Amino acid sequence: MAFKKRIIVVGDNLMVRPDEGSGRTGAGLYLPQTVADSEPVMAGWVVEVGPGLAFPDPMEVAEEPWKRKRRTAKYIPPQAQEGDLAIYIRKAAVEIKFENEKYLIVPNAAVLALVREDLMSGALGTEEGDS
């Protein structure tokens, strides 16, 4: 029986596959890796998202501290979703290799912006003049 390895991202971290196209200038010139790594801001595709920032349940009041209660974890989820293009601060990212692929673990606080492709309502040939 073969088991498949999987990374579980914890906390409010994101696992990002760096966008290799970000090492190119607007004119199409490829920059050396040393120049691309010196950029303060990078972009990459979100592959995995952690559960979020843990916080205590405000409804759990310790009126009777001797009673055992089953505590469930509550999280504030990050805004990022799998498939988003994340623009983040490079220095905050930690590089890892998993199954010969390069990924970055980026804290949610280092994400500056997200680019997401949403399916717009009415985008399938229903423009305002079509009736």
Domain assignment present for 18: yes
Domain assignment present for 122: no
Domain assignment present for 2: no
Contacts of 28 (CB under 8 A, 6+ apart): none
Domain total of the chain: 1
For residue 36, the domain's CATH number is 2.30.33.40
Domain assignment present for 63: no
Instruction: State residue 5's pLDDT score.
Output: 86
Which tokens in the block code for residue 80? 């990022």
Q: Is the pLDDT of residue 48 over 90?
A: yes
pTM for this one?
Answer: 0.70
Domain assignment present for 7: no
Domain assignment present for 123: no
Domain that holds residue 42: 13-56+71-115
Closest C-alpha to 44, from 64, 66, 22:
22
Question: Residues 69-87: pLDDT tens digits?
Answer: 676 778 899 999 999 999 9
